Amino acid sequence: NAGVMQNPRHLVRRRGQEARLRCSPMKGHSHVYWYRQLPEEGLKFMVYLQKENIIDESGMPKERFSAEFPKEGPSILRIQQVVRGDSAAYFCASSPDRTGNTGELFFGEGSRLTVL
Amino acid sequence: SQQGEEDPQALSIQEGENATMNCSYKTSINNLQWYRQNSGRGLVHLILIRSNEREKHSGRLRVTLDTSKKSSSLLITASRAADTASYFCARSDSSYKLIFGSGTRLLVRP
């Protein structure tokens, strides 16, 4: 079953370390979205990528956060010099086309980052 | 805030009862979607309703959309304990982003 695969599922980092979250979209999907969810809250859009292109990163903090979706391999969300406020669940979703056209996003199970 | 508002924030009902969740938004939409999230899991798409549709059914789910009031509702009929989850509405404005609401936490008591 080639669903959206995220790893690691759980990640613990100390303040100042780096966190790398990986996402492999569903087979045939070329659009990847990253969302962040704080406990008891909804999902907040971070970034939208296509292969080798960042389409919209308006929801991503300007500093310490970066995302990529290379021609080969998974999409990576990278958080440098993590702080306690970065603790959250990070969800990746994919679609075969832009959301406005197809609608549905397919989500992974999330990566839960804890910063000590 | 760009996010929609959902109410109630939490809902507790008895198995077999119906559950109704509401979602309001502020801007025009292309479509509105509902997702379900079990505790500690990812989101699962339930149903999509387009801006020119007023009502849609899928199994025990019924979604309505009132674009004049900028609101939508999700009705789950004959609820089951397995329906316990958080439910989110998400609006698409024909761009590439889905904007999610804050969610309704549903508890169905056996």
Give the pLDDT confidence of A48-103 residue by residue, as tens digits.
999 889 999 999 999 999 999 999 999 999 999 999 999 999 999 998 876 545 57
**Torsion sign (Cα): B58, A105, A109, A73:** positive
Query: C-alpha angle with apex B28: B27 to B29, nearest 5 degrees?
Result: 115
State the pLDDT at residue A78: 98
Low-confidence winner among A65-74, B23-32, B69-78, B94-103 (lowest mean pLDDT):
B94-103
> Does A4 reach chain B within 8 Å, measured CB to CB?
yes
Q: Is residue A28 very low, low, confident or very high in pLDDT (cuts 50, 70, 90)?
A: confident
State the pLDDT at residue B76: 98
* Closest CA–CA distance from residue B79 to any residue of chain A (Å): 22
Q: Is residue B94 very low, low, confident or very high in pLDDT (cuts 50, 70, 90)?
A: low
* Closest CA–CA distance from residue A47 to any residue of chain B (Å): 9
Q: Is the pLDDT of residue A25 over 50?
A: yes
Nearest to B92 by CA among B1, B6, B27: B27
Distance CA B13, CA B27 (A): 32
Nearest to A89 by CA among A26, A30, A43, A20: A43
State the pLDDT at residue B27: 87
> Does A31 reach chain B within 8 Å, measured CB to CB?
yes
Contacts of A32 in chain B (CB under 8 A): none
DSSP, res A101: H
Closest CA in chain B for residue A110: B42
Nearest to B82 by CA among B45, B58, B110: B110
> Does B93 reach chain A within 8 Å, measured CB to CB?
yes
Contacts of A103 in chain B (CB under 8 A): 31, 33, 48, 92
Q: Is residue B98 very low, low, confident or very high in pLDDT (cuts 50, 70, 90)?
A: confident
Q: What are phi and psi for residue A85, nearest 5 degrees?
A: -65, -10
Distance CA B56, CA B36 (A): 17
Rounded to 10 degrees, what is the CA torsion of B42, B53, A103, A35? -50
For the segment B34-51, the average pLDDT, to the nearest whole number, is 94
> Does A98 reach chain B within 8 Å, measured CB to CB?
yes
Closest CA in chain A for residue B89: A42
Q: Is the pLDDT of residue A5 over 80?
A: yes
> Does B28 reach chain A within 8 Å, measured CB to CB?
no
State the pLDDT at residue B1: 43
First to last CA, chain B: 37
Rounded to whole angstroms, what are the CA distances from A54 to A51, A106, A110, B92?
8, 19, 21, 19
